[in-house]
Amino acid sequence: MKTTIHSNDFLNLLRCLSLLKCICANVDIKGGILRQKSNDEYSIIEMDLTSLVSDCNILIPDIKGKLPILKELAKQDVKITSIDNHIIFSGERSTIKFNNPPLDFLDNKFIPDQEMTHIFTLREEDVVLEYPINQEASNLMKVISGQFKIVSFQVLFEGDTASIVATTTSKDQYSRIENGIPIKTPLKGFSNVVAEPFFLDHDGEILFKMYKVEDAVCVNKFKTLVGKITVVVYGRSQLVEEDE
């Protein structure tokens, strides 16, 4: 399988792959679609990369180690050739070949559509919260998650509205990042959501949608743009409701 990527598209591809370097061990693209779990298995990351790589299958192990090498081909048209157990990136002057391990040894495998529907099914009637988090707020969340050394934020349900807050484990630092967020159905309680979507370099706002899929389980969907590519991160969380 072969495809040639224009220099600008290759730069965009590198930017998209850079999002994964700290949360995934490898990249597994099938038919131009990336859909795989993070290393900790708390999140699923999804990108439609067909506008950049067509319907190619691209497997890159050790993405964190391979990215600095691939970046040396930036600002060139790059031909990608995927054959059997290796992949070749050919620039205008240089060629890079990576051997790929058997799929059984991959930490982050591509999730097919059928398997995705078994993991969860999202229905619009189950939306509890839908809110666009602007760039300023998402940048603050990224800084706070690093400073507080936390892996999740808390969504507090306060009747007709919700707030997003962060607290250190020792409870000595606290931040209310957003408040007055309208919710679909009045609730009292809280749910913890993963911080990973706010680690990602993105453009514009992050659309945050929370679905109540079971009595005490939510699926959180974070949707944003990286250049012209839509990036979606899914994560589960427990919904703890308080009695009135």
Longest CA pairwise span in the chain (Å): 68
CATH number of 22's domain: 3.10.150.10
For residues 104 and 128, state if they share a domain: no
For residues 42 and 75, state if they share a domain: yes
Reply yes or no on whether the pLDDT at 20 is more than 70.
yes
State how far the Cα of 99 lies from the Cα of 102, in Å rounded to an integer.
Answer: 10
Query: What is the tens place of the pLDDT at every residue in 162-197?
Result: 999 999 999 999 999 999 999 998 899 999 999 989
State how far the Cα of 52 lies from the Cα of 229, in Å rounded to an integer.
Answer: 9
Give per-residue burial for 106-144: e unless 16+ CB within 10 Å, then b. Answer: bebbbbeeeeeeeeeeeeeebbbbbbebeeebbebbbeb
Assign 156 a pLDDT band (cuts: 50, 70, 90): very high
Domain range for 222 = 124-241
State how far the Cα of 105 lies from the Cα of 3, in Å rounded to an integer.
Answer: 26
For residues 129 and 114, state if they share a domain: no
For residues 7 and 79, state if they share a domain: yes
For residues 131 and 224, state if they share a domain: yes
Instruction: Write down which residue in 90, 119, 148 finishes a domain.
Output: 119
Assign 101 a pLDDT band (cuts: 50, 70, 90): confident
- What's the pTM value of the predicted model, to 2 decimals? 0.92
For residues 48 and 81, state if they share a domain: yes
Instruction: Write down which residue in 119, 141, 166 finishes a domain.
Output: 119
Q: How many domains does the chain have?
A: 2
Q: Residues 127, 210: contact at Cβ < 8 Å?
A: yes
Reply yes or no on whether the pLDDT at 243 is more than 80.
no
For residues 114 and 13, state if they share a domain: yes
Q: Residues 55, 78: contact at Cβ < 8 Å?
A: no
CATH number of 150's domain: 3.10.150
Assign 244 a pLDDT band (cuts: 50, 70, 90): low
